[in-house]
Structure 1
């Protein structure tokens, strides 16, 4: 004979249900599926044995967090010890659970045989559907309130990270930066084509998109330009020769005349493009500040944008830290990798790391080598950034120097330092940096205390001078008293 009990974790508390006629039903899972469709039929299959409600929302959150991690809390342990009967020789007891990890923990803690396969998932599904009807004094409304409150607190606890080290901002900002690059380029080409009907010579004189948009906004109608416009053009182009060339070209331009309304639209569109380009510069500075806080070593090694693209492609800094160096090397080249594996051709040497300056500086023969070496250093830098509590770019600077030395080794043959020596130096510098920061914080706090002591001393000296002026003696005795007290204290501490 075997007896089956099922543990169900609800937002309101723990429930243990006994499955009736287990031997017959266990062999017929389809019959359980049919019984779930109707409450009356399901009540004949399942019977409530015990229910332990959570006393507060805090205990509910603690218990559900423990269940999600496969940990048996004291409350759950006591409840199961009271509710689930112990098995005998002729009669075995099995506890059905939804999570195999939790079942292993219960078996280890209480020596109760647990099962999460077979008919158990279907029974738990039925309990989930009819749970308010199976527990007395429980309604659908109260169940919904409990689930909503616990759901909010559970998700809030899961999302609660250090605000200064949230890598989601890096992922969003690098995606926006790439989108802005495409949009600014497209809009700038539109301005070039649009304004070239009126002033086609300006494209050859001013090839830069941002400067062209500023010039188009400043010039407007080329026929209205004069010598007074040279100062404004020099400020935009930062070149007096270009400003004079624009003025000369405007006087002999082959462009067509344009109406005021068309010029107004071009000016408005140029203003939008200029504002987008300015915002892109601000976004680059913002990305730099976020990378220096979250991944300073990776940013020092490969740059802000390449490091941010690696984090974005991996999904998070933690995911990137979990990747091996061989995966980091080809991140961003997945299509080429699978195509190479399918056609049995050469696999790609680099993905997003191709945008790093090191690979551009390496020779054609050494690009694959330096990309493999750089990926190795990137994985080290990422793991330091991810798991180090204090952010510092010391390791990134040392790793960058290692890549520089490896490039020199490929060119000249100079043997670089070993990684063990470099990491020891980096650790020493990091410890020195930490000690300096501690000293600065201590000195910063102590400086105010020193000022207060100086004020007290000055007040004390003023008081003594007054007593001396009044003819009062005994200053030596007052000075000696605290000294004797200190001596007594030091003797006690020595004893």
Structure 2
């Protein structure tokens, strides 16, 4: 059986024919070592046909299809023109570098394809000597084509990356966690710095953000008087607490600071306030992105925990591929491997421990609750990954199921079955689609037609509504004399029939 080789590179498609290759020589080391020698390799492998690409865009489309294992129309025409006809028992085969591409070529053209170690060695030799086989190819043309195609292929992969939106969530949650640590550490530094001047303020104001605002507003405690009380009330939000701050400033035991030190404290407090405000904006941005990317997961477990799961898995697709047992211990890998090494108890939860459901469960039910919640999170992530419509119907129903499971553990109330809940969720999604598809103009035209028809009926036949009303009144007045009369008539008829018998 003769062997052909299909070689795709930056300049086009090339087809080679191999002569004098038997099955015994395919596994020998001499055949592999002879690839480096052009005189020996050129006797075995010969160029049959070469089809150059029309442009750089055409090259990008062709190579992208090859990387995905798809045969393009241009490649199909190239093979049909340069290959002999395929009979019932073909006497040749085609060697390709990608097995997926070979299977697709066989499905369409019925050309038998193979991709093994020997074929890859031959293609390595073709790649090594390709500039010698094609006559019109200049020395620097191939390198330029490879460089341009490599840049364009990389840009296309980055541009059309499926997980490119997930990267925004991953970066946002990383930055949010970093900001939380920084704001806490900076707030503690503001407290320690300003406590040298006004130590009593720490016990009065507990919130870090509010403490920085008050420290900036008060500045020098000796200058705090009743005139600044309205502004202090607006900051604190409580009149009693504002008066307490003023009274504490009068009897404070802190030392006096120089104007330069107070300026530095105020500037640092302003920076902490700016960081806290930016943290709020970043949280709103994360909530908006999670509602677009994973609405059901966010509705089930919350935006922050859902974003941490996505970022730890790498993407929403990777999270959807994880089974629920893996999702349950995401973030507790060190504890898991330590438990496996020491033969101890494995962890029951990882990142999902931050969910409110685990905290609300009792100590003996935390493990079962974590397993159940991981199951529902796995379902929600798969729905978000593969569902085209952006909806929170499934996430809301899954959250209801988790609430019912909590009630079942605490009170013994039997929860609903999953199939019944999912049917309700699918019905809600169908209703949303129907509401979106209906235009606001159609109901108004229907109502107007109904009104016109009722008006015509009233004008033409005024007696019809009275008959309908009389029927309705008969049905409504069933307890009145009508029922008694009908019952009496029926009994009289029965008596007559008995007498006649």
TM-score (norm 1): 0.80
Shift of 1:234: 1.9
How many angstroms apart in 1 are the aligned matches of 2:361 and 2:5?
64
Where do 5+ consecutive residues of structure 1 fail to align? Answer: 451-495
1:263–1:48 Cα change, 3 Å: farther
Farther off after superposition, 172-181 or 91-100: 91-100
1:437–1:74 Cα change, 3 Å: closer
Equivalence for 2:248 = 249
Equivalence for 1:365 = 364
User: In the alignment, is the contact (CA less than 8 A) between 1:26 and 1:118 conserved in 2?
Assistant: no
What SS does the aligned partner of 1:256 have?
Answer: coil
Equivalence for 2:412 = 413
Aligned residue pairs total: 445
**Cα deviations by residue, 1:365-422 (Å, 9 ceiling, x for unpaired):** 1111111111111112112212221111111111111111111111111111111111
How many angstroms apart in 2 are the aligned matches of 1:240 and 1:432?
51
- 1:29-428 correspondence to structure 2 within 5 Å: 29=29, 32=32, 36=36, 46-84=45-83, 93-139=92-138, 141-160=140-159, 166-428=165-427
> Which one of 440, 445, 466 corresponds to residue 443 of structure 1?
440
How many angstroms apart in 1 are the aligned matches of 2:127 and 2:201?
72
TM-score (norm 2): 0.79
RMSD: 3.3
User: In the alignment, is the contact (CA less than 8 A) between 2:324 and 2:378 conserved in 1?
Assistant: yes
**Cα deviations by residue, 1:61-97 (Å, 9 ceiling, x for unpaired):** 4432332222333332332344356899xx9644332
Shift of 1:445: 9.4
**Cα deviations by residue, 1:143-185 (Å, 9 ceiling, x for unpaired):** 3454455445544554455999922211111111111111111
User: In the alignment, is the contact (CA less than 8 A) between 1:165 and 1:294 conserved in 2?
Assistant: no
Equivalence for 2:495 = none
How many angstroms apart in 1 are the aligned matches of 2:357 and 2:412?
17
User: In the alignment, is the contact (CA less than 8 A) between 2:35 and 2:122 conserved in 1?
Assistant: no
Farther off after superposition, 429-438 or 121-130: 121-130
User: In the alignment, is the contact (CA less than 8 A) between 1:165 and 1:293 conserved in 2?
Assistant: no
How many angstroms apart in 2 are the aligned matches of 1:29 and 1:164?
44
1:129–1:226 Cα change, 3 Å: farther
**Cα deviations by residue, 1:213-265 (Å, 9 ceiling, x for unpaired):** 11222222222222222222222222222222222222232322222222222
How many angstroms apart in 2 are the aligned matches of 1:180 and 1:356?
20
Farther off after superposition, 210-219 or 299-308: 210-219
